[in-house]
Amino acid sequence: MKTICPGSAILITKKSKVIYEQCSGMANLAKKIPITPKTNFRLASLSKPFTAMAISQLNLKLDSNINRYYPDFPSWGKLVTLKQLITHTAGFPDHEQTLYQTIKPGYLPYICDVLAIFKKSQPIFKPGSHYQYSDAGYVMLALIIEKISGQKYSQFLKEKIFTPLGMKTTQVVDNPNVKIPNQALGYLKDENSWILYDFDPLNYVVGDEGIYSNLNDLAKLKLTNPLGWFTPKINGQTGFYHDAFWLGFKNFLLYLPNQKISIIYLSNNSLLNCDQKRWQMAKKLLKMIR
Average the pLDDT over 246-262 and give the result.
Answer: 95
Number of domains in the chain: 1
Domain span at residue 120 reads 52-149
Instruction: Reply yes or no on whether the pLDDT at 142 is more than 60.
Output: yes
Beta strand spans in 97-232 (E): 171-172, 187-189, 194-196, 211-213
How far is residue 236's CA from residue 169's CA, in Å, rounded to a whole number?
Answer: 36
Instruction: Reply yes or no on whether the pLDDT at 3 is more than 80.
Output: no
Instruction: Reply yes or no on whether the pLDDT at 258 is more than 80.
Output: yes
pTM of the model: 0.96
Residue 31, domain member (yes or no): no
Which three-class secondary structure string do you get for 43-56? CHHHHHHHHHHHHH
Residue 246, domain member (yes or no): no
What is the phi-psi region of residue 143: left when phi exceeds 0, alpha when psi lies from -120 to 50, beta otherwise? alpha
Residue 113, domain member (yes or no): yes
Residue 269, domain member (yes or no): no
**Which DSSP symbol is given to 225?**
-
* The pLDDT value given to residue 286: 87
Residue 103, domain member (yes or no): yes
Residue 208, domain member (yes or no): no
φ, ψ for residue 202 (rounded to 5)?
Answer: -95, 10
Average the pLDDT over 150-165 and give the result.
Answer: 98
Q: What pLDDT, in 10s, does the model give residues 197-248?
A: 999 999 999 999 999 999 999 999 989 999 999 999 988 899 999 999 999 9
How far is residue 213's CA from residue 161's CA, in Å, rounded to a whole number?
Answer: 13
Cα 196-198-201 angle, rounded to 5 deg: 130
Residue 206, domain member (yes or no): no
